[in-house]
Amino acid sequence: MIGGSGRFLVNLESLNGVESIGNLTKHRTAPVVLKTSTGYLVRYVPVISGEALAHAYQASLVDIAKKEGLPVGNLSSQYEFIKFSTDEALKIEGIKEPKDYNDARRFEVEVMLKDVIADVGGFMYAGSAPVRRTSRIKLGYMIPALRGDEIPAQLEAQFHVRFSNKPVKGSQAIFNVEVSSALYTFSFELDEDLIAVPSTVGEKVKGEEELERQKARRVDSAIKALYSLLAGNFGGKRSRFLPSMKLMSLVVVKTDFPFIPEPGHDDSYIKTTVMRLEKAKSVLNGNVAKVYVINNEGIEVGEGATVLSSVEDLVAKLKEK
């Protein structure tokens, strides 16, 4: 299992807009609870949804899987991650719907063989005999780091005018785009051990041997796809609002037991993660507990972590057996 937490310093981004009100394009916001010197307070802050991050991850996985010769479905090839949710989608992909619960494993395996995105990113068929595969990649909202009594984040609407040089009515169009600047923290988890492994119960069905043969390449591609997230290649409205973004710090663990690093809300999150991991390894009788760190903030790391200089180095380490 691979789990990570990190912090991005992001200035002037509009990566996750949610709606337009008149000529204003709003940034996504959400409530968070902040512990201050006077107690707990609720604040609305700019955020970037886990769905936005998941779309970027899966889009990257599409490109990588194609290069690796792995199967990608017709809809996923168009970066439309409807997957196998409806009978119409099944017709497009050439998959026969499940007859009943006992047919669920056959259906899941056929879907996984058709589309590695559905294997790693999960799917939910909502027909008469529903079949669900939980995503092996888990991503939460990016939220501003909650540090002390202050939240390092700010929203502001920027005024713009679209202009046409033709002297006709409506040649100027005023619009406003709400942008955010924040020290964002984020977390992710990739359960690579369960990639290419059916989740529905039942006897082994045709096609599982092929999944086993592809497993190593599927896992390798899933790890490579993390690069887009860790390099900041996610979100929308990038053509004219490409943010100033820097990965400030990151801790990633690779284990053979469930473990999620500390969220990056304070400067001790990496050191706390390292301390917790050693205890968890002992309590859960783990054999693998590797820690990789990128530290551009000069914060305390603790003993036992491998400090790396770049995301590229990190992905290379995660790919090692």
* Amino acid (1-letter code) at residue 33: V
pLDDT in tens, 212-237: 999 999 999 999 999 999 999 999 99
Q: Which residues pair with 162 in a beta bridge?
A: 173
Mean pLDDT of 141-168: 85
69 domain residue, yes or no: yes
DSSP sequence for 190-216:
E-GGGTT---S-SS--TTHHHHHHHHH
Residue 261's closest CA among 296, 297, 293, 223?
Answer: 293
Length of the chain: 321
Q: Look up tokens 């972590």; give the residue.
A: 305
Q: Is 238 left (phi over 0), alpha (psi -120 to 50) or beta?
A: alpha
Asked if the structure places residue 38 within a domain, the reply is: no
Quick check: 66 pLDDT over 70?
Answer: yes
Please give the Cα distance from 291 to 273 (Å, whole number).
Answer: 9
Q: How far apart are CA 193 and CA 190, in angstroms?
A: 9
Residue 148 pLDDT greater than 80, yes or no: no
CA distance linking residue 297 with residue 231, whole number of Å: 17
Q: Which residues contact 157 (CB under 8 A, 6 or more apart)?
A: 24, 176, 177, 178, 179
CB 32 within 8 A of CB 143: yes
Quote the pLDDT of residue 259.
95
**Please, what is the Cα angle at 167 between 164 and 169, to 5 degrees?**
85
Assign 20 a pLDDT band (cuts: 50, 70, 90).
confident
Separation of alpha carbons 170 and 161, rounded Å: 11
> 10 Å Cβ neighbour count for 13?
24
Residue 37 domain flag = no
- Looking at the domain assignment, is residue 174 inside a domain? no
Q: What is the pLDDT of residues 74-112, one digit of tens each?
A: 999 999 999 999 999 999 999 999 999 999 999 999 999
- C-alpha distance across the termini of the chain, in Å: 13
Give pLDDT tens digits for 1-11: 999 999 999 99
- With contact defined as beta carbons under 8 Å apart, do 55 and 82 qualify? no
| pTM for the whole structure | 0.94
pLDDT of residue 169: 62
- 152 C-beta neighbours (distance < 10 Å), count: 15
Q: How is residue 276 written in tokens?
A: 């917790």
Q: What is the pLDDT of residue 33?
A: 94
Q: Is residue 25 part of a domain?
A: no
Convert 34-55 to b/e letters by CB count within 10 Å (16 or more is b): beeeeeeeeeebbbbbbebbbb
How many other CB atoms are there within 10 angstroms of residue 141's CB atom? 19
In this structure, of 17-26, 84-93, 134-143, 231-240, the range with the lowest mean pLDDT score is 17-26
Q: Which domain holds residue 190?
A: 50-138+185-319
- Averaged confidence pLDDT in the chain: 94
119 residue type, one letter: D
Q: Are 234 and 137 in contact (CB under 8 A)?
A: no
Which residues does residue 294 pair with via DSSP β-bridges, in sequence order? 250, 308
Which residue, chain included where needed, has tokens 């993390």?
226
pLDDT tens sequence across 283-305: 999 999 999 999 999 999 989 99
Q: Which pLDDT value is given to residue 168?
A: 61
Task: Flag whether pLDDT at 165 surpasses 80.
Answer: no
pLDDT value of position 166:
66
pLDDT at 289: 94
Total count of domains within the chain: 1
In a domain, 197, yes or no: yes
At residue 51, what is the residue type?
E
Within-domain flag for 145:
no
Note whether residue 167 is domain-resident: no
